[in-house]
């Protein structure tokens, strides 16, 4: 099944070596080849602003983003508009409330502080991945302040609540759950997208043995 103008494709690829740059690039070429057709080895990638991968030969209207945590690599591809994706493995963190108070917006930090245990931990990672997905979609990444993006933190419907220099209504935000111990988010600018919401389709790919 090919992506339509109303879709966001998210490809999940398991890396053999956690965080390996060459494998991440191979995974990205594989996912893009599924969208564009042809041999993945023929897709040439370059480093764009802030190190974000870009096509050496740009394809008009094609947008993509990638993220990895451990062996899990996620790649989002769409023709809707600029897109960002982030995935993080949920691991216990010391000083969770202190980190949230220092890095997040006050209302987000308060929402996390109101929770305990697993609920607080998931709220923290929901907040982090949703912010980073948006910032990656804008092209700034973590060079921009995290508290300039205010998002929901619970497991229910993700939302961008406020932006310092942008319109939250111009964006679509969705949760991506590749595994129980992984939390992910994808953000896409809707532009002149028609009424309704994009379909986010999570699919699995395998790296070839020669990757």
User: Which helix (H) or strand (E) is 69 found in, with range?
Assistant: strand 63-69
pLDDT score of 142: 67
In this structure, is the dihedral angle defined by the CA atoms of residues 16, 71, 187 and 180, taken in order, positive or negative? positive
β-strands 72-78, 83-89: how paired?
Answer: unpaired
pLDDT score of 210: 65
pLDDT score of 104: 95
- What's this model's pTM, rounded to 2 decimal places? 0.92
> What phi, psi does 77 have (nearest 5°)?
-135, 135
Q: Distance (Å, rounded) from C-alpha 118 to C-alpha 120? A: 5
Rounded to the nearest 10°, the torsion over CA 92, 94, 97, 98 is -150
> Quick one: 189 exposed, middle or buried, by C-beta within 10 A (0-12, 13-18, 19+)?
buried
| Per-residue DSSP letter, 114 | T
pLDDT per position as a tens digit, 17-58: 998 999 999 999 999 999 998 899 999 998 877 777 889 888
């Amino acid at each position: 099944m090919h992506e339509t103008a109303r879709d966001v494709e998210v490809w999940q690829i398991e890396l053999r070596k956690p965080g390996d740059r060459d494998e991440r690039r191979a995974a990205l070429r594989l996912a893009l080849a599924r969208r564009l057709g042809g041999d993945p080895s023929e897709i040439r990638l370059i480093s764009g602003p802030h190190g974000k991968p870009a096509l050496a030969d740009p394809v008009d209207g094609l947008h993509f983003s990638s993220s990895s945590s451990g062996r899990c690599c996620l790649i989002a591809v769409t023709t809707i508009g600029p897109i960002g994706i982030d995935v993080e493995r949920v691991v216990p963190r010391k000083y969770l409330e202190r980190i949230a108070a220092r890095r997040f917006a006050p209302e987000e930090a308060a929402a996390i502080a109101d929770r305990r245990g697993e609920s607080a931990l998931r709220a923290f990672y929901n907040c982090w991945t949703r912010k980073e997905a948006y910032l990656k979609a804008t092209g700034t990444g973590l060079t921009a302040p995290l508290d300039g993006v205010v998002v929901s933190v619970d497991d229910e419907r993700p939302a961008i609540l406020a932006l310092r220099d942008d319109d939250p209504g111009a964006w679509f935000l969705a949760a991506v759950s590749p595994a129980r111990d992984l939390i992910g988010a994808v953000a896409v600018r809707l532009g002149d997208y028609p009424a309704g919401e994009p379909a986010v389709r999570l699919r699995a790919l395998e790296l070839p043995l020669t990757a």
